[in-house]
Amino acid sequence: MKFCIIGAGFSGAIISRHLALQGHDVLLLDERPHLAGNCHTSRDPSSHIMLHHYGPHIFHTAHHHVWEFITQFGTFRPYINRVKAVSQNQIFSLPINLMTINHFYKKTMNPREAEEFIYAISDKTIKNPSNFEEQALSMIGKDLYYAFFQGYTRKQWGMDPKKLPASILKRLPVRFNYDDNYFSHPYQGIPEKGYTALVESMLLNLPIDIKLNTKFEELPFKEAFDHIFYTGPIDRYFNYAYGHLPYRTLDFEKQEGHGDYQGTAVINYCDENIPYTRIAEHKHFTPWEAPHLEKTIWFREYSRLAQEKDIPYYPIRLAQQDAMLTTYIQRAEATPHVSFLGRLGTYRYLDMDVTIHEALKACSVIDHALKTDTPI
């Protein structure tokens, strides 16, 4: 059978590999000049620093099968994301942990005391938090919310946190011990040769027709395919028939120097008067290489509402789902011979591991449909 896959990020690459291994005719295309979608990495030619071109990517998962799958394609080095945050001219540890709480309140509490203290200052009138702000106030109270989340979130999402879903905040843990690991997942790491090498190795030696620098819209004979897997923006597929769904895009301001600029990989800037959200110094994502690298490169990250020409990085899901999104989702579900996948195709804030998990699940759905001769 003949398949076309749009987008060579993790979603598209996994589906393409699966279909090619089964002997199908596979065309994989991406409008960008490289594989790996937003996870794309390459080495800076002069310094050899591994650069994450669309923002820093740290792999983390609780899914054993996802870890088993992805580590077939390259060696992962252990990497723990330990983020620092600047708030009101002081530097703190994130996610919120016992160090953050004691430092912020100038106390020396133990875990039990800290938990009781945070409980006492949390807003207990909020029983079922229905948005980001309510989630924060009910979990940590207003001091920590204003210091670390309100300003950063307004910069990142361009709106009042009351309009955002509670799920965005639930991405981050709050801990009453000194564990400052940004993620709670048992499997964490960074691929030694970067993410693009990983995707290259996933597609290596398979009979897949890969066309980069190619927009799906420009492809003739779309009806020649038995099925299409689309991982681009859902509204773009329908030529924005019901309007433009909102996305946040990012501007990365690149700076270079020598030695160690900030002493760690990521520092968040939580105050609203600082226009960027965070600074990532990329050589710290490869700590096994960093000591040997004389040069350093860091990026200031600015978030803004995407225009049609911009890269759509973050789908903006609201606490109250938008009617336009519902219409696109219904239209996608009713479109025969096309499956919508991935962060943009389903308009969800998905991490790499969930993207991979869902792409592997889609492979099982494909197998079942082909075996039973039913539509995918």
Q: Catalytic residue numbers?
A: 171, 175, 248, 278, 301, 349, 351
DSSP code, position 224: G
**Binding partner of 29, given ligand UDP, ligand FAD, none, CB within 5-8 angstroms per partner class:** ligand FAD
Tell the smallest beta-carbon distance from residue 156 to ligand UDP (Å).
5
With CA atoms as reference, report the closest residue to 74 among 59, 53, 55. 59
Please state, in angstroms and as integers, the Cα–Cα distance from residue 324 to each residue in 102, 200, 329, 330, following that order. 45, 36, 9, 10
Three-class DSSP category at 146: helix
With CB under 6 A, what is the number of residues at the site for ligand UDP? 13
Say whether residue 6 binds ligand UDP (CB under 6 A).
no
Say whether residue 190 binds ligand UDP (CB under 6 A).
no
Tell the smallest beta-carbon distance from residue 47 to ligand UDP (Å).
25
Residues 6 or more apart whose CB falls under 8 angstroms from that of 1 comprise 24, 25, 226, 227, 370
Tell the smallest beta-carbon distance from residue 1 to ligand UDP (Å).
37
Q: What tokens were used for 315?
A: 């789908």
- Angle (deg, nearest 10), helices 352-372 and 10-21: 30
User: CB–CB of 304/158 below 8 Å?
Assistant: yes
Q: Which of residues 122-151 bind ligand UDP (CB under 6 A)?
A: 148-149
Say whether residue 231 binds ligand UDP (CB under 6 A).
no
Say whether residue 342 binds ligand FAD (CB under 6 A).
yes
Please state, in angstroms and as integers, the Cα–Cα distance from residue 53 to each residue in 27, 48, 78, 114, following that order. 25, 14, 21, 39
Say whether residue 303 binds ligand FAD (CB under 6 A).
no
Say whether residue 191 binds ligand FAD (CB under 6 A).
no
Tell the smallest beta-carbon distance from residue 276 to ligand FAD (Å).
13
**Binding partner of 69, given ligand UDP, ligand FAD, none, CB within 5-8 angstroms per partner class:** none
Which spans of this chain sit near ligand UDP (rule: CB under 6 A)? 85, 94, 148-149, 152-153, 156, 168-169, 171-172, 268, 270
